C-alpha cells in the first residue's frame, strides 16, 4: 500500500525470520531511494524557480514537459499549468517558433535576440540546446530566456548620445574649417575679411568649449564616486542668486530684460555654492534666450518648513505641454532648429536636473505657450 515506513514484526522461526528481515531491509532501502528522488526533485525545482532566467523544456512535438514560473512572467502567459500544451498554443511569436524548430531539427545549440510585442515591447535573448536520452536520441529541447530589454534600452541611449554629441560638435567644426579655408584662399590678405572670418572662428571655438564643458559637467554629476567627495556648506542664498544674475548681465542688458529679485537677504541654504549657481545661471540663460526684448524675469526664493524653493519666471515663448515630460533629457530641444540657432545644445536643463538631484532635490516646470514659464528648484533641508 506504499506505507514503506511500516515494518513486519520479527518472526521467531528462522526462515520466516530472515524473510521478514530482508523484506524490512528492502522497504527501508526503497524508502531511502524515494526520499533521495523527492529531495532531488525538490532541489531541481528550487533551482529552476530561483533562476532569473525563464526555462522551458519541450519534447520533439514542441509540447511543454517542464518550465519555471519565470517563463510565465517573461512571456506574460496567464495559463497556470502549461505542461502538455504546445508552444504555439501558449506564445504567439513566429521568431520563437522558428528558433525552436531550428533547434529540434537543425542547429543543435543556438543563441538569438528576439523581439516580443507583449503588454510592452520586450527584447528576450533565447538560448536553446538539444535534450538527449541515455540512448543518445534527441528527445526535445531546453530553451533559456533572458530579458534584455533594459540592456537594449541602455545601448540605444548610448548610441543616441554618441550620435548627438558628434552632430553637435560637427556644426562648429565645419564652420571653423570653412572659415580657415576661406582665409587661406586669400581672405587673409584683406584685413576686413580676415577680421570677419577670425570672429567666426572665435565664436565657434567658444561654442565647442561650452559643449565640451557641459558634457564634462554631466559626466561628473553622473559619477557616483565624485558625488561622495562633494562639499556642502551653509551658504547665503541671496548671494548665490546675485552672482548668477551678474553672470548673465551682458545678455539681460542687451535685450533690455529686467531681472527682479524676491529673496530675503539673510536666507541660507545647505548647498554646493558653485553648482547651485550654475543651475540658476542655466535657468536664467534660458529665460533670457526664450524671451522677447523688454520683458521681465522674476527670481523668487522661499524657505518652507521642509524645503527651499528657487523659482525663475519669465514672460517668454512658453513650452507646449507635450514637450514637458522630455524637457530635462540630454539634447532635448523644443524647436531644434530655432534653439540651435540661438546657440543651444539642449544640455542646460539636463545639468540643472542633476544639480538638483545631488542636493537630494528636484526641478519642476510650469509653462503656458505665449505667456511664459516658471522653473523651480526644490531643495530639502
Ligand X SMILES: Nc1ncnc2c1ncn2[C@@H]1O[C@H](COP(=O)(O)OP(=O)(O)OP(=O)(O)O)[C@@H](O)[C@H]1O
Q: Report the interface residues with ligand X, using CB under 6 A.
A: 214, 286-287, 290, 314, 316-319, 327, 332-335, 339, 344-350, 373
Task: State in angstroms the smallest separation of the CB of 51 from ligand X.
Answer: 43
Of the two residues 34 and 260, which places its CB atom closer to ligand X in the complex?
260
Binding at 334: pick from Mg ion, ligand X, none (beta carbon under 5-8 Å per type): ligand X
Q: What is the 3-state secondary structure (H, E, C) of the chain?
A: CCCCCCCCCCCCCHHHHHHHHHHHHHHHHHHHHHHHHHHHHHHHHHHHHHCCCEEEEEECCCEEEEECHHHHHHCCCCCCCCCCCEHHHHCCCHHHHHHHHHHHHCCCEEEEEEEEECCCEEEEEEEEEEEECCCCCEEEEEEEEEECHHHHHHHHHHHHHHHHHHHHHHHHHHHHHHHHHHHHCCHHHCHHHHHHHHHHHHHHHHHHHHHHHHHHHHHHHCCHHHHHCCCCEEEEHHHHHHHHHHHCHHHHHHCCCEEEEECCCCCEEEECHHHHHHHHHHHHHHHHHCCCCCCEEEEEEEECCCEEEEEEECCCCCCCHHHHHHCCCCCCCCCHHHHHHCCCCCCHHHHHHHHHHHCCCEEEEEEECCCEEEEEEEEEC
Binding marks (x or -) toward Mg ion, 228..267, rule CB under 5 A?
Answer: ----------------------------------------
Binding at 363: pick from Mg ion, ligand X, none (beta carbon under 5-8 Å per type): none
The candidate with the shortest Cα–Cα distance to 227, out of 360, 65, 319, is 360
Of the two residues 248 and 379, which places its CB atom closer to Mg ion in the complex?
248
Instruction: Give yes or no for residue 68 binding Mg ion (CB under 5 A).
Output: no
Q: Tell me whether residue 341 is exposed, middle or buried, using C-beta atoms within 10 angstroms of its C-beta: 0 to 12, 13 to 18, 19 or more.
A: exposed
Of the two residues 54 and 316, which places its CB atom closer to ligand X in the complex?
316
Task: State in angstroms the smallest separation of the CB of 372 from ligand X.
Answer: 7
Q: What angle do CA 22, 24, 25 make, to 5 degrees?
A: 60
Task: State in angstroms the smallest separation of the CB of 316 from Mg ion.
Answer: 12
Task: State in angstroms the smallest separation of the CB of 206 from ligand X.
Answer: 12
Of the two residues 33 and 326, which places its CB atom closer to ligand X in the complex?
326
Task: State in angstroms the smallest separation of the CB of 286 from ligand X.
Answer: 3
Of the two residues 187 and 283, which places its CB atom closer to ligand X in the complex?
283
How far apart (Å, rounded) are the C-alpha atoms in residues 380 and 25? 74
Of the two residues 286 and 308, which places its CB atom closer to ligand X in the complex?
286
Among 189-197, 252-260, 348-356, 367-375, the segment contacting Mg ion (CB under 5 A): 348-356
Instruction: Give yes or no for residue 361 binding Mg ion (CB under 5 A).
Output: no
Binding at 314: pick from Mg ion, ligand X, none (beta carbon under 5-8 Å per type): ligand X
Binding at 316: pick from Mg ion, ligand X, none (beta carbon under 5-8 Å per type): ligand X
Instruction: Give yes or no for residue 348 binding Mg ion (CB under 5 A).
Output: yes
Of the two residues 146 and 217, which places its CB atom closer to ligand X in the complex?
217
Task: State in angstroms the smallest separation of the CB of 285 from Mg ion.
Answer: 5
Of the two residues 70 and 330, which places its CB atom closer to ligand X in the complex?
330
Contact in structure between 141 and 60 (CB atoms under 8 Å):
no
Binding at 319: pick from ligand X, Mg ion, none (beta carbon under 5-8 Å per type): ligand X
Task: State in angstroms the smallest separation of the CB of 370 from ligand X.
Answer: 10
Which listed residue (68, 244, 278, 286) binds Mg ion by CB under 5 A? 286
Residues found near Mg ion in the complex (CB under 5 A): 286, 348
Amino acid at each position: 500500500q506504499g506505507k514503506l515506513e511500516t515494518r513486519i514484526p520479527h518472526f521467531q522461526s528462522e526462515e520466516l525470520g530472515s524473510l521478514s528481515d530482508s523484506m524490512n531491509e528492502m522497504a527501508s532501502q526503497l524508502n531511502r531511494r524515494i526520499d533521495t528522488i523527492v529531495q532531488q526533485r525538490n532541489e531541481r525545482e528550487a533551482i529552476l524557480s530561483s533562476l532569473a532566467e525563464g526555462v522551458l523544456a519541450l519534447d520533439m512535438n514542441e509540447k511543454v514537459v517542464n518550465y519555471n514560473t519565470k517563463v510565465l512572467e517573461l512571456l506574460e502567459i496567464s495559463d497556470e499549468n502549461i505542461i502538455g500544451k504546445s508552444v504555439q498554443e501558449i506564445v504567439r511569436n513566429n521568431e520563437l517558433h522558428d528558433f525552436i524548430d531550428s533547434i529540434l531539427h537543425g542547429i543543435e545549440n543556438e543563441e538569438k535576440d528576439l523581439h516580443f510585442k507583449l503588454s510592452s515591447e520586450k527584447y528576450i535573448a533565447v538560448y536553446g540546446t538539444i535534450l538527449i536520452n541515455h540512448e543518445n536520441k534527441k528527445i526535445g529541447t531546453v530553451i533559456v530566456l533572458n530579458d534584455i530589454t533594459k540592456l537594449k534600452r541602455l545601448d540605444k541611449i548610448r548610441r543616441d548620445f554618441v550620435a548627438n554629441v558628434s552632430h553637435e560638435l560637427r556644426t562648429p567644426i565645419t564652420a571653423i574649417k570653412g572659415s580657415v579655408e576661406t582665409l587661406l584662399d586669400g581672405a587673409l590678405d584683406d584685413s576686413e575679411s580676415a577680421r570677419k572670418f577670425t570672429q567666426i572662428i572665435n565664436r565657434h571655438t567658444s561654442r565647442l568649449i561650452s559643449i565640451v564643458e557641459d558634457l564634462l559637467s554631466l559626466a561628473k554629476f553622473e559619477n557616483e564616486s565624485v558625488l561622495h567627495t562633494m562639499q556642502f556648506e551653509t551658504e547665503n542664498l541671496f548671494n548665490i542668486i546675485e552672482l548668477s544674475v551678474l553672470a548673465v548681465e551682458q545678455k539681460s542688458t542687451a535685450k533690455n530684460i529686467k531681472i527682479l529679485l524676491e529673496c530675503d537677504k539673510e536666507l541660507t541654504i545647505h548647498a554646493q555654492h558653485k553648482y547651485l549657481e550654475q543651475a540658476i545661471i542655466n535657468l536664467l540663460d534660458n529665460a533670457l534666450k526664450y524671451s522677447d526684448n523688454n520683458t521681465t524675469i522674476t527670481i523668487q526664493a522661499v524657505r518652507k518648513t521642509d524645503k527651499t524653493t528657487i523659482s525663475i519666471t519669465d514672460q517668454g515663448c512658453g513650452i507646449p505641454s507635450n514637450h514637458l515630460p522630455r524637457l530635462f533629457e540630454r539634447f532635448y530641444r523644443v524647436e531644434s532648429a530655432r534653439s540651435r540657432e540661438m546657440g543651444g545644445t539642449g544640455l542646460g536643463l539636463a545639468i540643472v536636473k542633476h544639480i538638483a538631484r545631488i542636493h537630494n532635490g528636484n526641478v519642476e516646470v510650469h509653462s503656458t505657450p505665449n505667456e511664459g514659464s516658471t522653473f523651480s528648484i526644490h531643495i530639502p533641508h
